[in-house]
Amino acid sequence: MDPRNVRPSELEVWAAERDCDATVVRKLLSAIFRRGVLEPGRWMAESQIPKRLALSVAPSPLPRLTLDGSVVSPKDGFQKLRFRTGEGLALETVLIPLHKEGAVSVCLSSQIGCAMGCTFCATARMAIRRNLQAWEIIDQFLQARELVQAQGRRVTGAVFMGMGEPFLNYDHVLTAADLLRSSSAGSVAAKAITISTVGLVPEIDRYTREGHRYRLAVSLGAATDAKRKELVPVASRWPVAEVVAAARRHALARRARVTLAYVCIGGVNVGEEDARALGELIGDTPVRVDLIEVTDTTGRYLPPTAEELQAFRDALTRHVGQPIVRRYSGGKDIQAACGTLAGVG
C-alpha cells in the first residue's frame, strides 16, 4: 500500500485499524513529503514509525519516476521535466515561474497521452496510453519541488493542466490533490491548486457535489457548438451550453468564480461574433475568462495577431460582463506551453 495513493483521511482509518493513531500518519506523511524519505527502514529509525506499520505500508522503498530530462527556456525561465515510468513511458511536468519573486507553480500530468483529441494539442496526437496513479502525480510534484528548492525558490501552487484530461482519472487526481493540500503532506493552499477539464459534465457535477475546494478551470475552445466540435471533439457529447451550465452550478455552489479557459486561434474563434456568442453563453455566470494564445506544433492553427487579439479583447469587454485575463502560456521555445506536451524534445 503506497501512502501516496491514499487520501490522508483514508490513511488515518487504515492506520486506526492497525492500532495506530493519527500522529503516526502525520509522521509518515511528513517523512515522505517534507524530508523525501521513501524507505521503511528510515521511517522506523528517524520518525519512530512502528515497524509493523512501516513494513505493512511498504516492505521495500517506495518507487519513483525516473527523471529523464530537463530543459529551461532561456526566454522566460519555464522549465520542462521529462519523466519515465517503470515501463518506460514518458510524461512531462512544467515548472511555471510566478510573478512573486522565487515562487513557482507545478503543472502536473494526470495521464500518459490523452483521449480527448483536441485538434490543436500535441498530447492528443499521442493518443491515450494509461492513467497515472496518484503516487506518479505526487512524485512529479516532489521531484519538481526538490529541483526548485535547490535553486533557492519555492513551490506555492499546482495545476492539473499537463498531459491528459484530469477528470478521466478522477480518483487518482483527487487523491493527489488531497495529499498536496494536506498540512501533513504537501501543504499547498487549496486555492493554489487548480484542476482543469475540457468539459466533462457528469464529472464537473460530481466534483461540485463532493464539495472540493480546489479551483476549477473549464476549457471552452469556442462559444458555439459548431466551432467547438471542430476544436474539441468531446463537444459532440455535451453541448457548450451544458458545459457552462455545469460550471455555473459549481460557481454558485462554491460561491467562487470558475475559470473558463479560451484558446485563441487567429482567424478561427476571435471575431466579434465569437465574443458576442461567448457573452450570451456566460450571461451572469460568475466566471473569469482566461485567454490563452494557441501553440500548435503542427502549424495548422496560428495565434491571433496583436491587432486581432486586441480587437477580440475589446469585443469581450463589450459583450462579457465578467473579468477577462490574458494568460501567458510560456515555454514555447522548449515545447512546454499549453497543448505542446508530448513526451519528446
28 interacts with ligand SF4 by CB under 6 A: no
Instruction: Please identify which residue in 165, 178, 203, 296 interacts with ligand SF4, judged by CB under 6 A.
Output: 165
Identify whether 92 is a catalytic site residue: yes
Residue with smaller CB distance to ligand SF4, 117 or 266: 117
Residue with smaller CB distance to ligand SF4, 40 or 166: 166
Residue with smaller CB distance to ligand SF4, 121 or 320: 121
Q: How many residues of this chain bind ligand SF4 (CB under 6 A)? A: 12
For ligand SF4, which stretch binds (CB under 6 A), given 19-27, 77-85, 116-124, 148-156?
116-124
Nearest alpha carbon to residue 164 among 208, 216, 106, 121: 121
Q: How far apart are CA 85 and CA 81, in angstroms?
A: 13
198 interacts with ligand SF4 by CB under 6 A: yes
For ligand SF4, which stretch binds (CB under 6 A), given 56-64, 135-143, 157-165, 279-287?
157-165
Amino acid letter for position 31 = A
Binding residues among 324-343 for ligand SF4 as defined by CB under 6 A: 339
Identify whether 338 is a catalytic site residue: yes
Catalytic residue, chosen from 12, 20, 92, 165, is 92
Question: Exposed/middle/buried for 185, CB within 10 Å: 0-12, 13-18, 19+?
Answer: buried
121 interacts with ligand SF4 by CB under 6 A: yes
Nearest alpha carbon to residue 93 among 130, 169, 145: 145
Contact between residue 262 and residue 220 where contact means Cβ atoms under 8 Å apart:
yes
For ligand SF4, which stretch binds (CB under 6 A), given 50-58, 59-67, 117-125, 328-336?
117-125
Query: Considering the complex, what minimum distance in angstroms separates the CB of residue 126 from ligand SF4?
Result: 9
- Strands 287-293 and 258-264, bridge-based pairing: parallel
| Residue 263 grid cell | 484558446
For ligand SF4, which stretch binds (CB under 6 A), given 120-128, 172-180, 251-259, 291-299?
120-128
Q: How far apart are CA 175 and CA 157, in angstroms?
A: 16
293 interacts with ligand SF4 by CB under 6 A: no
Instruction: Please identify which residue in 124, 159, 180, 220 interacts with ligand SF4, judged by CB under 6 A.
Output: 124
Catalytic residue, chosen from 107, 114, 118, 338, is 338
Q: How far apart are CA 213 and CA 253, in angstroms?
A: 11
- Strands 90-97 and 103-107, bridge-based pairing: antiparallel
Q: Is 213 left (phi over 0), alpha (psi -120 to 50) or beta?
A: alpha
Taken in order 306, 311, 316, 317, the sign of the CA dihedral is: positive
How many Cβ atoms from other residues are within 10 Å of residue 7's Cβ? 17
164 interacts with ligand SF4 by CB under 6 A: yes
| Residue 184 grid cell | 501533513
The distance from CA 83 to its chain's CA centroid, rounded to whole angstroms, is 16
Amino acid letter for position 283 = G
Query: Considering the complex, what minimum distance in angstroms separates the CB of residue 108 from ligand SF4?
Result: 12
Residue with smaller CB distance to ligand SF4, 117 or 239: 117
194 interacts with ligand SF4 by CB under 6 A: no
Q: What are phi and psi of 114, to 5 degrees?
A: -160, 140
114 interacts with ligand SF4 by CB under 6 A: yes
57 interacts with ligand SF4 by CB under 6 A: no
- The beta-strand segments (E) located in 126-207 are 128-131, 154-160, 193-197
For ligand SF4, which stretch binds (CB under 6 A), given 64-72, 119-127, 171-179, 244-252?
119-127
Residues forming contacts to ligand SF4 in the complex (CB under 6 A) are 114, 116-118, 121, 123-124, 163-165, 198, 339
**Which residues are annotated as catalytic?**
92, 338
